């Protein structure tokens, strides 16, 4: 009997969780499993803001895929997926021959979404992957280094604009306010010359978060120097900075660095492959399959699931991506063996913690509000748990966060 070919695209939280669970469930002779990823490493997307600010080295954020897969059962191909040919059940890769699948898992994650705002793609950075994070860190450092040597000082070099006061924007600001004093010392820059501005179009910071916790976060960040411009929309990004508008008042803010943290979408491969999708996200069936394609599972940020209680999509999170990976692995095992029943996916949301630097945070965990040191410790427990679920205690020992405060 021919072994079914299982192909998993993407080694983020969703893809790696699927593979590491599946490799434990099935024997070598039951299926051929192939994992494709752009790089030979996995990165913790939820830690990228730290690498971008320069508060955590980028090597700490990533680990080798080879360290967590069982190579007797899983073949790894390092390549970029270009397109999925749904009719022929083929995956087209940039540098390898096309792959044929019996079952496919699409876990290609998120990309930055600029909503067509002029100039953002060209002139703003986004915290999208390890190399993008490294580029932001280097760019900010370059601005400080250049300022300290140039004869005619251009103060706007030291202005950093963060577009978006959602989860990613706030977590990045939390790291930046700790990093900037270090940069000032390192490059002999007067801290009063530095401006960190957060521009948010919505009427509040962290929309949807508990208002008391939001107030706490805003106070912490404002005390450390962040200027919030709320209810203010970025109209354009230029080589010199941004143009914003509030109540029909247009203002130009000159800035050496603009980081766009206000929107993500699913992978462009989803759109290019002809899936029915919204911004690269496929509305999956209860078993995580793409409608009309029972052999194709979609997990993580490329999947869209509606929360029946609010009638809105669940936000794309690592927490959900990992839970989906677990269910997807179980469902693949059922299909491979032709035994048992498919399990529907039900998110089990344990809470959310938003960091405000390495020693402070806010969150709601198991329905309880937490903030300050307690929340910060909880954040590290969550970060270590993600490592544990994929790579067990060895990975936690290697990459875990143990300096709790």
- What is the β-pairing status of strands 159-163 and 195-200? parallel
Pick 157 or 163: Cβ nearer ligand FAD: 163
Token reading at 392: 């067990």
Residue 44 known to be catalytic: no
Among 55, 267, 273, 323, binds ligand FAD (CB under 6 A): 267
Pick 226 or 318: Cβ nearer ligand FAD: 318
Instruction: Give the sheet arrangement for strand 195-200, strand by strand.
Output: 125-126, 257-260, 159-163, 195-200, 226-230
Which residue, 261, 271, 262, is CA-closest to 108? Answer: 271
Pick 10 or 163: Cβ nearer ligand FAD: 10
Distance CA(280)–CA(292), nearest Å, equals: 17
Residues 116, 20 contacting (CB under 8 angstroms): no
Check binding of 83 to ligand FAD (CB under 6 A).
no
**Binding segment toward ligand FAD, per CB under 6 A, in 9-17, 112-120, 227-235, 390-398:** 9-17
Restricted to residues 135-174, the positions that interact with ligand FAD (CB under 6 A) are 167-168, 171
Question: Which residue's entry shows tokens 């998120």?
Answer: 110
Among 143, 319, 323, 376, binds ligand FAD (CB under 6 A): 319
Check binding of 81 to ligand FAD (CB under 6 A).
yes
Distance CA(169)–CA(199), nearest Å, equals: 10
Pick 30 or 271: Cβ nearer ligand FAD: 271
**Which among 44, 171, 200, 326 is annotated as catalytic?**
171
**Binding segment toward ligand FAD, per CB under 6 A, in 22-30, 43-51, 231-239, 283-291:** 43-51
Minimum gap (Å) between residue 184 Cβ and ligand FAD: 24
Among 18, 23, 49, 194, binds ligand FAD (CB under 6 A): 49
Check binding of 65 to ligand FAD (CB under 6 A).
no
Among 4, 14, 174, 357, binds ligand FAD (CB under 6 A): 14
Binding mask 102-141 for ligand FAD (x = CB under 6 A): -----xxxx----------------x-x------------
Check binding of 15 to ligand FAD (CB under 6 A).
yes
Residues belonging to the active site: 171
Binding site for ligand FAD (CB under 6 A): 10-15, 36-39, 42, 45-46, 48-49, 80-81, 107-110, 127, 129, 167-168, 171, 267, 269, 300-301, 316-319, 321
């Amino acid at each position: 009997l021919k072994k079914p070919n299982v192909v998993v695209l993407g080694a983020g939280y969703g893809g790696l969780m699927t593979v590491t669970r599946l490799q434990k469930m099935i024997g070598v002779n039951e299926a051929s499993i192939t994992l494709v990823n752009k790089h030979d490493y996995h990165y913790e997307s939820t830690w990228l803001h730290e690498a971008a600010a320069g508060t955590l080295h980028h090597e700490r954020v990533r680990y080798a895929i080879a360290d967590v897969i069982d190579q007797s059962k899983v073949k790894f191909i390092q390549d970029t997926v270009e397109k999925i040919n749904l009719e022929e059940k083929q995956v087209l890769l940039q540098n390898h021959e096309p792959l044929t699948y019996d079952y496919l898992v699409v876990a290609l994650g998120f990309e930055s979404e600029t909503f067509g705002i002029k100039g953002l793609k060209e002139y703003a950075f986004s915290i999208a992957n390890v190399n993008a994070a490294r580029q932001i860190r280097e760019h900010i450092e370059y601005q400080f280094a250049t300022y300290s040597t140039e004869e005619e000082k251009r103060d706007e070099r030291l202005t950093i604009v963060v577009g978006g006061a959602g989860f990613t924007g706030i977590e990045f600001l939390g790291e930046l306010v700790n990093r900037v004093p270090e940069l000032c010392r390192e490059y002999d820059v007067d801290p009063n010359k530095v401006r960190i501005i957060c521009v948010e179009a919505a009427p509040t910071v962290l929309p949807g978060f508990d208002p008391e916790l939001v107030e706490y976060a805003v106070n912490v960040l404002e005390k450390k120097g962040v200027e919030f411009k709320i209810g203010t929309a970025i109209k354009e990004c230029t080589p010199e900075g941004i143009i914003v508008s509030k109540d029909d008042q247009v203002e130009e803010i000159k800035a050496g660095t603009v980081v766009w943290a206000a929107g993500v979408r699913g992978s462009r491969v989803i759109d290019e492959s002809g899936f029915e999708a919204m911004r690269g996200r496929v509305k999956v069936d209860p078993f995580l399959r793409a409608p009309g394609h029972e052999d194709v599972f979609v997990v993580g940020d490329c999947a869209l699931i509606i929360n029946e209680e609010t009638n809105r999509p669940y936000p794309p999170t690592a927490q959900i991506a990992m839970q989906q990976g677990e269910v997807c692995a179980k469902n693949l095992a059922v299909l491979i063996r032709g035994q048992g029943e498919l399990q529907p996916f039900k998110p089990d949301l344990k809470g959310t913690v938003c960091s405000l630097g390495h020693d402070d945070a806010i969150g709601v965990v198991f329905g309880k509000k937490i903030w300050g040191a307690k929340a910060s410790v909880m954040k590290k427990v969550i970060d270590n748990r993600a490592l544990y679920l994929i790579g067990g205690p060895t990975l936690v020992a290697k990459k875990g966060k143990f300096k709790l405060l």
